[in-house]
Structure 1
Amino acid sequence: MAATPPLCNFGWKAVDARLQATDGRTYSILDLSGPNGLVVAFICNHCPYVKAVISRIARDARDLKDHGIGFLAINANDAEAYPEDSFDNMKRFAAQHALPFPYLHDEDQSVAKAYDTVCTPDFFGFNSDMELQYRGRLDASRKDIGPADLRRDLYEAMVMVSRTGKGPAEQQPSIGCSIKWKTSPYQP
């Protein structure tokens, strides 16, 4: 069943954490910020919504770098219940898709809970002060690969953030597979 996150809570501050990445390094989320902002994307390996747009996510991450926007992705799914989302499979997924950004593992799901993540993909766009300015979709595609000329919602919003520090007032929510929680996201 598809899940839809709430719309942008403008000004909410990014939460930092140190997470292991598929490249063998450990990264601080905030250290991956560019001079004009940061996109934190929650994705996973098995979700058909992510699979349909992963090449566009990579393209937008590469293009946003030119605008001073950093980019990272986090997988928080329960790998015991969903083995395709294991850390070893994350490494394969990152290599297969030549991800141009760190792909981080949130094994205990604490970061996904802190961000109140709902689905994969779920995008959080922050300005240079690490204030949330975008929480919306990548583009209008869903589980099917959309046409190449789809409006690039995330990219255009983050270019705006890079120039003005503010995101668009009107945003379309992302849609995707629900996060696969080990327990309820609000239990210890």
Structure 2
Amino acid sequence: MAAVPPVCDFGWKGIDAILPGVDGNEHQLSEHVGPGGLVVAFICNHCPYVKAVIDRIVRDARDLSAHGIGFVAINSNDADAYPEDSFENMKAFSRQHGMTFPYLHDEDQSIARAYGAACTPDFFGFNADMRLQYRGRLDASRREQGPADLRRDLYEAMVKIAQTGEGPREQVASVGCSIKWKDGGDWA
């Protein structure tokens, strides 16, 4: 069953954390904030919604870097229940899709809980002050990749944030698989 995150809580201060990356390094989220902001994307390896758009996520992360916007992806799923989401499989998934941004492991799920992440993919777009300005979809794709000419919602919102510090007031929520919590329940 698809999960839908809540609407953007404009101005919410992003929580900093240090998480292990598939590159073998520890990454502090705040170190990836660019002069134009930061995208924190909750994704995983097995979700059909993520699989449908992972190449577009990689493209948008690359294109946003030209606007001074950092990008990190976090996998918080319970890898015991979903072995495809294990740290070792994250490394392979990152290589397979040519990820040029940090893919981080939130094994204890504390960051997903702190952010209120609801689904994969779930995108949090912050301005340069790490204040939330976007909590919406990548584009109109769902379980299948949409046509190539879809409006790039995340990309356009983040370019606006880089230019003005503020995100669009109208946003369409992302849809995806629910975060796979270790206790089997919701985060709230």
Shorter-chain TM-score category?
A: over 0.9
Shift of 1:113: 0.2
CA contact (8 A) 2:181 2:187 kept: no
CA contact (8 A) 1:39 1:70 kept: yes
Report the counterpart of residue 128 of structure 2 in structure 1: 128
CA contact (8 A) 2:116 2:187 kept: no
Give runs of aligned pairs for residues 60-139 of structure 1, distance below 5 A: 60-139=60-139
Report the counterpart of residue 2 of structure 2 in structure 1: 2
Output the CA distance in 2 between the equivalents of 1:7 and 1:40.
16
Shift of 1:173: 0.1
TM-score under structure 2 length normalisation: 0.98
Shift of 1:185: 4.9
Amino acid paired to 1:48: P
Report the counterpart of residue 180 of structure 2 in structure 1: 180
TM-score under structure 1 length normalisation: 0.98
Report the counterpart of residue 143 of structure 1 in structure 2: 143
Unmatched tracts of structure 1, length 5 or more? none
RMSD: 0.9
Question: How many positions carry a matched residue from both structures?
Answer: 187
CA contact (8 A) 1:36 1:69 kept: yes
Report the counterpart of residue 169 of structure 1 in structure 2: 169
Unmatched tracts of structure 2, length 5 or more? none
Output the CA distance in 2 between the equivalents of 1:13 and 1:115.
10
CA deviation map 1:71-100 (0-9, x unaligned): 000000000000000000000000000101
Identity, in percent, stands at 70
Output the CA distance in 2 between the equivalents of 1:123 and 1:186.
17
Output the CA distance in 1 between the equivalents of 2:19 and 2:91.
14
